[in-house]
């Protein structure tokens, strides 16, 4: 599916948010115009408004994400997977209002609801779950890890994957996540690190699949590490579609653009066209299909 060095096959953004109050379908139009064929649509908490304080609130939020996915499917001929779950930052922010115990109980209940909807076929993956990506007290940090272990344990029996929102601390983060997977009984190949660095070598990932944030400089990192990759990996923008932060984190055209840049870089580094095609197919179709059970 390489034609004159251009990839004409599937292209998936594995972590993208949409908001009816912002660009919404226009963002997907941008994505498809430059070759995008599939997205994993992720539930987006409304941090600037009111976060859910009960299970009904989470149900409404999840169903809104599912409805958005249906709207995208109706408008565009692309595959849309859905990722739902309670964000770890929402848990941390709700401690002030609900207390640590109350916020933690709601978080676990929200995970259970999300898993029920996934089991019913309404969504594909749990996420983004994990732990705060910024400094917190030791009490909050320990609680976050206890909750994450329970979330992994709840997911382990379902056969589904989860996407992890975590801090950036190099390979140490991946090592800790692998340890939590072992403790909880969740197969490491189903724990997908979202917003991962552009290092997909086995020594860095500890066997965790990764959705790489393909910002500036990411192609160099991927080219340098891809020969040592074992776990599946993909590309993401973490596009927020936030009216208050236009363009954040990366724009919807980025994954198709970086896909072509990666093809060009690999070919320039001596890769055979057949090997580049195989990798692109794995990144954008084969591996996501296995991770998200399409």
Angle subtended at Cα 235 by Cα 80 and Cα 58, rounded to the nearest 5 degrees: 50
Which of 8, 4, 29, 34 lies closest to 18, judged by CA?
Answer: 29
- Which residue, among 58, 143, 25, has the nearest Cα to 95 in the 3D structure? 143
> Is residue 4 assigned to a domain?
no
Tell me how many domains the chain contains: 1
Tell me the longest C-alpha to C-alpha distance in the chain: 59
Whether residue 267 lies inside any domain: the answer is yes
Do residues 61 and 45 make contact, with C-beta atoms less than 8 angstroms apart? Answer: yes
- 69 and 82 Cβ atoms separated by less than 8 Å: yes
- Tell me whether residue 129 is in a domain: yes
Check residue 49 and give its pLDDT: 66
Is residue 3 included in any domain, yes or no? Answer: no
> Is 24 contained in some domain?
yes
Residue 259 lies in a domain: yes
- Domain membership of residue 87 (yes or no) is yes
**pTM for the whole structure:** 0.96
Measured CA to CA, the distance from residue 79 to residue 77 in angstroms comes to: 7
Which of the residues in the chain have pLDDT under 70?
A: 47-49
CATH code for the domain in which residue 287 is found: 3.20.20.140
pLDDT (0 to 100) of residue 280 = 98
pLDDT in tens, 161-185: 999 999 999 999 999 999 999 999 9
Pairwise CA distance, residues 157 & 292, whole Å: 15
Q: What is the pLDDT of residue 51?
A: 87
1 is a domain residue: no
Query: In this predicted structure, what is the pLDDT of residue 246?
Result: 75
Cα–Cα distance, 274 to 25 (Å, whole number): 35
Q: Which residues contact 84 (CB under 8 A, 6 or more apart)?
A: 42, 43, 62, 65, 66, 114, 117, 118, 123, 126, 127
Beta strands in 85-182 (DSSP E): 125-130, 162-165
- pLDDT for the residue 48: 62
E strands within the chain? 2-3, 6-7, 12-16, 38-42, 79-84, 125-130, 162-165, 191-196, 210-213, 233-236
Give residue 200's pLDDT. 98
Q: How many CB atoms lie within 10 A of CB 128?
A: 27
Query: Which domain range does residue 235 map to?
Result: 10-292
Give me the residue label for tokens 């009216």: 243
42-73 b/e (C-beta count within 10 Å ≥ 16 → b): bbbbeeeeebbeeeeebbebbebbbebbebbe
Cα 133 from Cα 282, distance rounded (Å): 29
């Amino acid at each position: 599916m390489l034609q004159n060095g251009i990839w004409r096959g599937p292209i998936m953004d594995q972590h993208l948010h949409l908001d009816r109050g912002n660009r919404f379908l226009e963002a997907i139009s941008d994505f498809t115009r430059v070759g995008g064929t599939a997205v994993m649509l992720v539930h987006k908490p409304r941090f600037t408004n009111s976060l859910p304080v009960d299970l009904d609130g989470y149900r409404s939020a999840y169903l809104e994400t599912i409805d958005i996915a249906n709207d995208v499917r109706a408008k565009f001929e692309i595959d849309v997977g859905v990722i739902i779950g309670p964000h770890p930052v929402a848990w941390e922010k709700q401690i002030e209002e609900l207390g640590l115990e109350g916020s933690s109980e709601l978080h676990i209940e929200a995970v259970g609801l999300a898993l029920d909807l996934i089991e019913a076929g309404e969504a594909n993956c749990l996420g983004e779950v994990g732990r705060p990506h910024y400094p917190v007290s030791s009490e909050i940090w320990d609680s976050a890890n206890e909750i994450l272990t329970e979330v992994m344990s709840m997911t382990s029996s379902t056969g589904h994957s989860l996407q992890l929102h975590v801090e950036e601390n190099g390979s140490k983060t991946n090592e800790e996540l692998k340890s939590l997977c072992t403790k909880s009984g969740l197969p490491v190949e189903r724990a997908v690190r979202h917003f991962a660095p552009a290092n997909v070598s086995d020594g860095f990932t500890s066997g965790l699949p990764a959705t790489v944030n393909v910002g500036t400089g990411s192609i160099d990192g991927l080219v340098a590490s891809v020969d040592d990759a074992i776990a599946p990996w993909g590309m993401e923008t973490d596009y927020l579609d936030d009216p208050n932060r236009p363009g954040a984190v990366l724009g919807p055209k980025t994954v198709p653009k970086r896909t072509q840049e990666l093809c060009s870089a690999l070919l320039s580094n001596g890769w055979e066209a057949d090997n580049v095609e195989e990798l692109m197919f794995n990144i954008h179709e084969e591996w996501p299909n296995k991770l998200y059970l399409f």
